[in-house]
């Protein structure tokens, strides 16, 4: 059975196992099941390509802050925003799955 985002259970488990740090800013991710609001380090699902299918190349875990900042922006555009510049998030600092995605995107 898939979750609320249509991600199959096997894929959710694989992504959660792979991504223990935010794939963008690299902070440790936490599960905040009962937390009120949205703590910045809360683990969230990220669809790098918002129109793409849920695959292990497109679904990643990132913090709420990065997910909110990226929104529906194209990844390469988002990496040039003031948010990323302030947090030193760029093609060299992101996690390996993001680097691999950027290679396919160009």
pLDDT tens digits, one per residue of 3-59: 677 789 999 999 999 999 999 999 999 876 655 556 777 889 998 887 888 898 999
Residue-level pLDDT at 92: 97
Find the angle CA(100)-CA(101)-CA(106) to the nearest 5 degrees. Answer: 105
pLDDT tens sequence across 44-97: 999 888 788 889 899 999 999 999 999 999 999 999 999 999 999 999 999 999
Phi-psi category of residue 26: left, alpha or beta, with phi > 0 → left and psi -120 to 50 → alpha: left
- Segments of 1-106 assigned E as strands: 43-47, 59-63
Query: How many structural domains is the chain composed of?
Result: 1
Residue 50 CA: distances (Å) to CA of 33, 63, 70, 92: 25, 17, 11, 22
Q: What is the CA radius of gyration of the chain?
A: 13
Residue-level pLDDT at 35: 54
According to DSSP, residue 8 is labeled -
Q: Which domain holds residue 50?
A: 9-105
* 22 part of a folded domain: yes
Whether the CB-CB separation of 49 and 23 falls below 8 Å is answered with no
Whether the CB-CB separation of 40 and 64 falls below 8 Å is answered with yes
């Amino acid at each position: 059975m898939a979750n609320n985002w249509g991600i199959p259970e096997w894929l959710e488990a694989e992504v959660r196992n792979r991504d223990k740090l935010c794939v963008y800013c690299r902070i440790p991710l936490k599960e905040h099941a009962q937390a009120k609001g949205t703590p910045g380090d809360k683990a969230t699902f990220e669809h790098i390509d918002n129109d793409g299918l849920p695959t292990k190349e497109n679904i990643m875990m990132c913090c709420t802050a990065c997910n909110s900042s990226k929104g529906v922006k194209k990844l390469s555009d988002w990496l040039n925003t003031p948010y990323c510049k302030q947090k030193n998030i760029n093609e060299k600092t992101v996690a390996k799955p993001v680097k691999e995605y950027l290679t396919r995107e160009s």
